[in-house]
Amino acid sequence: MLLSLIDGFQPELLASCANLGLYSVEQFLLLDGSNSEILSKLSLSIEALRNLQGELAPLLAQVADASDLCHKVSVTPVISTGVSALDDLLGGGFATSEVTELVGPPASGKTQILLSAMLCLLRGDPSATVAYISPTMLPLPRLRGLLRGPEEIQLLRRVLSFQAVDHSEVLESLQIVAAKAEPCRLVCVESIGGVLASCLEGESGYVILSRIATALRRVAQACQASVLITNHTIERDGELRPALGVLHQGTPSVQIMLFHDPAPMEGENLKMALLTKSPRQPIFKRAIFPL
């Protein structure tokens, strides 16, 4: 539910929220009142923030307008992940016109799932193209290892690879993808937390995160593409959490936390996926699968 749809929500506060990349009631309810920097940006005391959160929380139990209702009942096209258990968790696959974030520690399967979805789409749709944006180039050895035979090497000709080592190159790459005459159906942005981490100091960090979030959503909507981003984890209060913090939480519509299976059988390489954010599926469901 969008904050802009809430009667009586002050325009000044709405503008401050937008500057921080906060657009929905869900995002506003996730704000941490102990973060003095965010409170300062919103010109709110901790008491005022908690009072507002208390007033907004009941609204999530309602359908605010017809567009929300249509969104809930409409069938959203999806792109298979190539992993049946993960498709089941997501209700069919990665939704188009949305941003999905894969979060996890190293070797938890983030890139492997991207490559699996990429090949699944290219095999199933001879006209589909894919954009891959990463600090490093396309991992061709790993991709070749997933091919079913030498003849499938031609699939890689429909992958547009961009090397982006900072936020400006990510934005430039997304602009190129959005302007393509033949839209990419799948857009992958690797290691977004690592790329953006160095530019989050000071006032400009909020602006940069907001621009990246807007560009990702624009590509998803304009191209009717499934936009997949990967992000690493950081440890905070004894828990693994997505990097980039609260201001990034509103960027993805769907978020999946990936882990190593805590109790695998001998010789098995299993991953566990936990759905932590979704506009359609029940959250905190999990799936365990080989990868």
Residues 49-71: b if buried by 16+ CB within 10 A, e if exposed: beebeeebeeeeeeeeeeeeeee
What are the domain boundaries of the chain?
3-69, 75-290
Tell me what the mean pLDDT of segment 208-227 comes to.
Answer: 91
**Owner of token pair 């920097």:** 37
Span 220-236, pLDDT tens digits = 999 999 999 999 998 87
Span 139-191, pLDDT tens digits = 888 888 888 888 888 999 999 999 999 999 999 999 999 998 889 999 999 99
pLDDT at position 2 over 90: no
Span 16-71, pLDDT tens digits = 877 776 777 777 777 767 777 778 888 888 888 888 877 877 765 554 444 444 44
DSSP three-state, residue 50: helix
Q: Tell me how far apart the alpha carbons of residues 73 and 71 are, in angstroms, rounded to a whole number.
A: 6
Q: Which of 230, 233, 196 is nearest to 111 (CA)?
A: 230
Asked if residue 254 lies in contact with residue 212, where contact means CB atoms within 8 angstroms, the answer is no
**Owner of token pair 């959490």:** 241
Span 79-136, pLDDT tens digits = 999 999 999 999 999 999 999 999 999 989 999 999 999 999 999 999 999 999 999 9
Instruction: Give the lowest-confidence range in 32-41, 71-80, 256-265.
Output: 71-80
Confidence tier at 265 by pLDDT (50, 70, 90): low
Q: Regarding beta strands 130-134 and 98-103, do their DSSP bridges make them parallel or antiparallel, or are they unpaired?
A: unpaired
Q: What is the pLDDT of residue 137?
A: 85
| 75-290: CATH number | 3.40.50.300
pLDDT over 70 percentage in the chain: 88
Q: Under 8 Å CB-to-CB from 156, ≥6 apart: which residues?
A: 138, 140, 143
Q: What is the pLDDT of residue 115?
A: 95
Confidence tier at 198 by pLDDT (50, 70, 90): confident
Asked if residue 161 lies in contact with residue 132, where contact means CB atoms within 8 angstroms, the answer is yes
Q: Which of 123, 136, 129, 203 is nearest to 169 (CA)?
A: 136
Confidence tier at 284 by pLDDT (50, 70, 90): confident
Q: Tell me how far apart the alpha carbons of residues 114 and 287 are, in angstroms, rounded to a whole number.
A: 17
pLDDT at position 279 over 70: yes
Q: Tell me how far apart the alpha carbons of residues 72 and 130 are, in angstroms, rounded to a whole number.
A: 28
CA 127 to chain centre: 25
Confidence tier at 280 by pLDDT (50, 70, 90): confident
